């Protein structure tokens, strides 16, 4: 044993230095978040700064309390025990190093286990990380000074009860349950499973000749025959895909002239963990040989980023033959979505050979990337073009709330991260603004988040009342939503498939008018949704 457990007085000082460190760290976290916005040229009035600080003290503090207490509970008694065996002059530096090192290791562990690359936003920068570590060290120094007189004393049995008191400071995190929009009366539907055993399928495409293509995120392209049979072997000749976390093979889209050109377009993550991109390639599909030929990379996002989150990856063709590709903000790089020198957090528009259309909004603008069509996006995973109304529509993931449905206009700024209805996963505010001059508001937002993924425009005969409606899949929401566009924006008409309780990754309308869905799972499924008919052949609804 290093020494007996600390006395009860030690734990009393432990508690209040813990609280001091958490409160100071919360205020520092807030200021670093606001500083990132200021560096984009955004002015933040003092009233907004104070309101944001107050919000974070109420909402971020409990999360950081649990995180910091977990390391402080181990590091400080350990430092106390070690210091009793060393000379007194080593006590204070030992406490400071133990607290800072403990917090750093805790952040590393949390970031490795959490779905997002960096949980505490302030620690994205070296300055922010060092500030948090210095506060931890400061709290530990104060604790060392206050408890120096009891460093060498033995611990009595009665004090052992006090040793457990700080555990009361480790409340369980409360996760807000998803509040679902009110569902309209249920429609009688028939849901059939066509294919099982797809590994995290991401995108579905119908070929004019009848078969279907499905991408699997680990980097495989699969063929489903017209009889519903899954070809056992994946299609060969794919580009090298970086598959990790959210990174992998994304969209597959046949060229508008596929019947003549046999060309398809693939979006995917390329590179390695410390330097990766969203890439777009075109290739010729040889169905007789089940392989791709003439593979050519036509676009690679700039700059390279570290981590494996937020790639976007949806592709859609416009009436003029150009295509639009969605790009994510890379999660830790959210401010890049406001910089026109970066593709991160943008939609880009290209010709099928990768060249830039002359009428792109930023062509000829100094310091701007000519491929950019719109910017200020977080992670666009739904993209559809309504040729009847000549409008491009997208939806994107917000953080904790603030998912958005947007009507895309060339050259428009959609606000992220200056504007959002959501907050960070820790409860901290990302920005004090929910609207801002010069930034386009969404048609619809989902708060709490449903994590929308897959977007389709219904144009078919099976669901006559759904003509022109949008179909939105949901990952976190585990449902399908039917959304109607209105003069004022958009509204949720119906929530479907909640009983399925599966993450929906992609939504497509088939040539037969049925709705086809991909579920996101290690053994994902391809589903077909159609009206249910009674014995007389009439729809049951």
Write out the H or E segment, with its range, that includes residue 49: helix 46-59
Alpha-carbon distance values, 238 to 234, 265, 291, 350 (Å): 10, 11, 8, 21
- For tokens 């609804």, the residue is 541
- For tokens 């959609």, the residue is 414
DSSP H helices, 373-416, are none
CA-to-CA distance for 384 and 403, rounded, in angstroms?
17
Taking the C-alpha atoms of 436, 440, 443 and 449 in order, what is their torsion angle to the nearest 10 degrees? Answer: -60
Q: What is the DSSP string of 327-385?
A: ---TTTTGGGGG-TT--TTEEEEE-TTSPPPTTSTTTT-TTS-TTEEEE--S-EEEEEE
List, in sequence order, every residue forming a beta bridge with 494; answer none if it has no partner: 482
CA-to-CA distance for 504 and 394, rounded, in angstroms?
17
> How close are the terminal C-alpha atoms of the chain, in Å?
73
Q: Are 298 and 280 in contact (CB under 8 A)?
A: yes
Q: Which of 200, 277, 310, 395 is catalytic?
A: 310
Q: Are 402 and 447 in contact (CB under 8 A)?
A: yes
Residues 434-448: b if buried by 16+ CB within 10 A, e if exposed: eeeeebbebbbbbbb
Alpha-carbon distance values, 439 to 43, 365, 394, 436 (Å): 15, 19, 16, 6
What angle (nearest 5°) sits at the alpha carbon of residue 292, between those of residues 289 and 294?
125
Handedness of CA 431, 432, 434, 437 (dihedral sign): negative
Instruction: Determine what percent of the chain falls in helix, strand and coil, rounding each to the nearest 5.
Output: 25, 30, 45
Collect all residues with Cβ–Cβ distance below 8 Å to 403 and sequence separation of at least 6: 395, 396, 397, 422, 445, 446, 447, 449, 450, 451, 452
**377 annotated active-site:** no
- Which residues are annotated as catalytic? 310
């Amino acid at each position: 044993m290093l020494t007996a457990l600390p006395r009860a007085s030690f734990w009393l000082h432990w508690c209040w230095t813990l609280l001091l460190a958490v409160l100071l760290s919360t205020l520092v976290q807030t200021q670093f978040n606001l500083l990132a916005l200021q560096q984009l040229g955004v002015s933040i009035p003092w009233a907004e700064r104070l309101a944001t600080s107050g919000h974070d003290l109420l909402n971020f503090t409990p999360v950081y309390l649990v995180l910091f207490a977990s390391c402080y509970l181990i590091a400080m008694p350990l430092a106390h025990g070690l210091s009793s065996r060393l000379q007194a002059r080593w006590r204070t530096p030992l406490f400071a190093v133990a607290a800072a090192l403990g917090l750093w290791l805790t952040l590393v562990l949390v970031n490795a286990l959490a779905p997002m690359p960096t949980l505490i936003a302030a620690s994205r920068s070296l300055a922010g990380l060092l500030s948090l570590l210095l506060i931890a060290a400061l709290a530990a120094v104060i604790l060392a000074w206050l408890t120096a007189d009891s460093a060498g004393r033995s611990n009595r049995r009665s004090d052992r009860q006090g040793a457990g008191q700080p555990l009361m400071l480790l409340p369980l995190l409360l996760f807000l349950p998803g509040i679902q929009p009110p569902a309209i009366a249920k429609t009688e539907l028939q849901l059939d499973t066509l294919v099982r055993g797809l590994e995290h399928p991401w995108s579905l495409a119908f070929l004019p000749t009848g078969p279907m293509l499905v991408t699997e995120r680990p980097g495989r392209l699969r063929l489903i025959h017209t009889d519903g049979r899954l070809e056992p072997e994946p299609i060969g000749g794919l580009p090298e895909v970086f598959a990790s976390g959210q990174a992998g093979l994304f969209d597959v889209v046949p060229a508008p002239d596929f019947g003549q050109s046999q060309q398809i377009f693939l979006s995917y993550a390329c590179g390695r963990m410390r330097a990766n991109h969203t890439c777009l390639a075109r290739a010729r599909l040889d169905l007789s040989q089940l392989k791709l030929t003439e593979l050519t990379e036509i676009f690679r996002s700039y700059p390279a980023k570290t981590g494996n989150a937020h790639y976007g990856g949806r592709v859609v063709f416009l009436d003029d033959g150009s295509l639009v590709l969605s790009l994510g903000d890379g999660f830790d790089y959210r401010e890049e979505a406001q910089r026109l020198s970066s593709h991160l957090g943008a939609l880009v528009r290209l010709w099928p050979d990768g060249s830039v259309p002359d009428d792109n909004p930023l062509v000829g603008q100094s310091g701007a990337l000519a491929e950019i069509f719109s910017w200020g996006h977080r992670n666009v995973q739904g993209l559809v073009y309504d040729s009847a109304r000549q409008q491009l529509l997208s939806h994107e993931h917000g953080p904790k709330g603030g998912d958005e449905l947007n009507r895309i206009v060339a050259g428009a700024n959609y606000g992220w991260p200056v504007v959002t209805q959501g907050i960070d996963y820790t409860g901290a505010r990302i920005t004090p603004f929910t609207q801002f001059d010069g930034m386009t508001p969404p048609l619809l937002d989902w708060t709490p988040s449903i994590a929308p993924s897959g977007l389709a425009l219904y144009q078919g005969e099976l669901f006559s009342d759904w003509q022109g409606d949008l179909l939105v899949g949901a990952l976190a929401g585990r449902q399908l939503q039917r959304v109607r566009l209105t003069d004022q924006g958009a509204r949720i008409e119906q929530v479907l498939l909640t009983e399925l309780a599966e993450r929906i990754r992609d939504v497509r309308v088939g040539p037969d008018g049925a709705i086809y869905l991909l579920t996101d799972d290690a053994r994902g499924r391809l589903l077909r949704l159609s009206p249910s008919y009674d014995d007389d052949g009439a729809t049951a609804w």
